[in-house]
Amino acid sequence: MATFFGEVLSVYSRAVEEDDEDPEQDEEDEQIRRELEEKREVHLRWSPEVSELLKSGNKLPCREFILAVGHNAAKFLSVYVLTSANWDTLGHASVWNERSRAVTGQSSEESACVFYRHKENPTVMICQVTCYVAEDQLFQWTEKVFDCLQHRELSVTVLSDSSVADYKTADYLCTSSAPFLRSLHTGTFSGQPVCQSLEQPNIITGLPAAVLNHCQVQRIATVVYQCYSDVIGPDSVSMETFKPALTKLAKSIQLNSSPNTDILRKMVKTTDIQSNLYI
Amino acid sequence: MFVPSDNSPPSLEDFTLVMPAVAVGNVGQLAVDLIVSTLNMSRVGFIHTDCLIPMAGNNPYSTCKEDAQELHTPAEVYVAPELKLAVLQIRAPIVQTKSKKFRQLIVSWIKASGFSRTVILSSSHAYQRDDQQMKGTPLRYLATPSLLKASANALKELGWREMERVASFPGLTEANAEPRLCIPGGGITKGLYTDSCSEDLPLAVVLLFCSEGDNIPDAFALVNHLNDWLHLLDDPSQAPNKWKIPTSWNLLFGSGIPPSMF
């Protein structure tokens, strides 16, 4: 488009990208595309016991599935729930995309998306997702994970992080009101959310949205609690905001309502400094 | 694929389907919002697919507290049975590598549902118009041969302007460069149109030229133009802007202004 000063700028649309759909594609291009698609596939790697169960055509019996997406949500579960050491690691999901960073030593893929099951109450499962799941992988991740779970009487709780900058409201929020929770639930969820429902025109995107879409269509009772925080990176106040979300399940997951401050401090270490522009 | 909200799938046989293309300015989607909101259409099902980027939110057309907490997904089907009208609303962009798959999904759903005709509401980059296209109305239409069999007269009476074919290589006077259909910024519009031509589906495209910005007036222009043909609203003699704006259109340009700024 031409500007007032006579320069020509290329304009982009917030809605569409121009894709040059070339019907006659190079065989080599096709192969590269296929290989890339294969690399981007989501793979679930379960423990031998679970793999055996799934191979024989059964599903994991599951009544409560708690999914934590994002650092605050995941660390909240680590500090308030997983420290009781009553959890078995069931497996992990490996997700590769353009934002995955190669980490020497422990494979970062393994720790980025882990499934746990309660030792005494094996129908309670937890999953922590701290890696970035790309737009084209969200649906796949959700389908593959939920395909392994028994759907009858399944209840899903999703804890997710977001920035308060993404929260739209007519009265501008002063920072003292953050962090706060907002909820969204599927049609079959009959419980009472512990916080306000997400007001228009706000929406949820990413993995929590993919789970909600899947559960709405499959009629699984699901609630998402999104924490809007004004701090970049994990912090203990935002983590604590999630506590009311799990009060109903407190007994079955052995929620530790006052965790050790040492554990908290260890969890909330400063994130790697990538740039010294904003230390 | 289509998943009905209730246990009994609705019969959409012989209905008119109106759907948007995710295109520049989101004009088609905004226009569809106006249709669903004004006609108070009820949701009958979801299009559950990996081709759209997931999103979720509460009821964007809620009018009172009671219906506010209802979960909505990226692609949903609404009906107004008294008008034999079905509407597909798409709220999320199509995953980049899945545009062809999505087109195929839509075409097979249209065939399976037995719609009497389909109308795609779309838009195209205003800055890519050539000199001819810049004159007169910014609204255009396209119709497949199958639709022209039934509606050629109606469209002629309306005096609508058909979308022009443009030179493949503007500026070059190649004898063998045939003018072709080009809808820049239209997303899957052109693809859906050509697919429908080859599948012999009765389909029309109604689009307008626009730019990104405040596209609400564009949405009104498009939906009023469509109304001239389909007569969705009862009394066409009423003053314009009789369409009801849904609550989801609040704060399109961000939150309220922080008072601490002043």
User: For residue B22, what are the contacts with CB-CB under 8 A and spacing of at least 6?
Assistant: A15, A16, B28, B29, B90, B92, B93, B94, B187, B188
**HSE of A91, CA atoms in CB hemisphere, 13 A:** 16
pLDDT of residue A104: 46
pLDDT band at A5; cut points 50, 70, 90: confident
pLDDT 10s digits, A134-147: 999 999 999 999 99
**Chain A residues whose beta carbon lies within 8 Å of the beta carbon of residue B185:** 13, 16, 18
Decide if A208 and B260 are in contact by the 8 Å CB cutoff.
no
User: For residue B191, what are the contacts with CB-CB under 8 A and spacing of at least 6?
Assistant: A21, B99, B100, B103
Q: CA A105, A259, A181 angle in degrees (round to 5)?
A: 90
Which tokens sit at A93?
């999901």
> Shortest CB distance from B57 goes to which of A143, A187, A204?
A204
Q: What is the DSSP string of B129-155?
A: --TTTTSS-SEEEEE-HHHHHHHHHHH
**Distance in angstroms (rounded) separating the CA atoms of residues A213 and A216:** 5
pLDDT of residue A197: 94
Average pLDDT, chain B: 91
**Distance in angstroms (rounded) separating the CA atoms of residues B54 and A216:** 12
Decide if B56 and A14 are in contact by the 8 Å CB cutoff.
no
Identity of residue A30: E
- Shortest Cα distance, chain B CAs vs residue A228, angstroms: 15
> Shortest CB distance from B58 goes to which of A21, A198, A214?
A198
**Distance in angstroms (rounded) separating the CA atoms of residues B248 and B59:** 8
Which tokens sit at B133?
């296209």
pLDDT at B246 over 90: yes
Q: Are B27 and B219 in contact (CB under 8 A)?
A: yes
**Chain B residues whose beta carbon lies within 8 Å of the beta carbon of residue A1:** 127, 211
Running DSSP on this structure, what letter comes out for residue B8? S
Q: What is the end-to-end Cα distance of chain A in Å, rounded?
A: 39
- Shortest Cα distance, chain A CAs vs residue B152, angstroms: 31
pLDDT band at B81; cut points 50, 70, 90: very high
pLDDT of residue A106: 46
Average pLDDT on A27-36 reads 86
**Distance in angstroms (rounded) separating the CA atoms of residues A21 and A12:** 18
- pLDDT higher at A194 or A18: A194
Which tokens sit at B89?
């609303």
Least confident of A256-265, B42-51, B209-218: A256-265
Q: Is B214 exposed, middle or buried (0-12, 13-18, 19+ CB in 10 A)?
A: exposed
pLDDT 10s digits, A48-84: 999 999 999 999 999 999 999 999 999 999 988 888 8
Candidates B203, B177, B171; CA nearest to B189 is B203
**Distance in angstroms (rounded) separating the CA atoms of residues A137 and A40:** 7
**HSE of B196, CA atoms in CB hemisphere, 13 A:** 29
pLDDT 10s digits, B4-31: 998 888 899 999 999 999 999 999 999 9
- Other beta carbons within 10 Å of A32: 11
- Shortest Cα distance, chain B CAs vs residue A55, angstroms: 25
pLDDT of residue B93: 94
pLDDT 10s digits, B153-209: 899 899 999 998 887 776 776 656 778 899 999 999 999 999 999 999 999 999 999
User: Would strands A113-118 and B203-210 be described as parallel, antiparallel, or unpaired?
Assistant: unpaired
Sign, CA dihedral A134-B71-B91-B97, equals positive
Q: Which phi-psi region, left, alpha or beta, contains residue B249 (left: φ > 0; alpha: ψ -120 to 50)?
A: alpha
User: For residue A82, what are the contacts with CB-CB under 8 A and spacing of at least 6?
Assistant: A116, A126
Q: Which phi-psi region, left, alpha or beta, contains residue B153 (left: φ > 0; alpha: ψ -120 to 50)?
A: alpha
For chain A, which domains are there?
A: 42-267 (3.40.50.10900)
Tell me which chain A residue has its CA closest to the CA of residue B54.
A210
Which tokens sit at B256?
């309220």
Q: pTM for this structure?
A: 0.90
pLDDT at A170 over 90: no
pLDDT at A109 over 70: no
Running DSSP on this structure, what letter comes out for residue A102? P
pLDDT at B74 over 70: yes
Interface confidence, given as ipTM, is 0.91
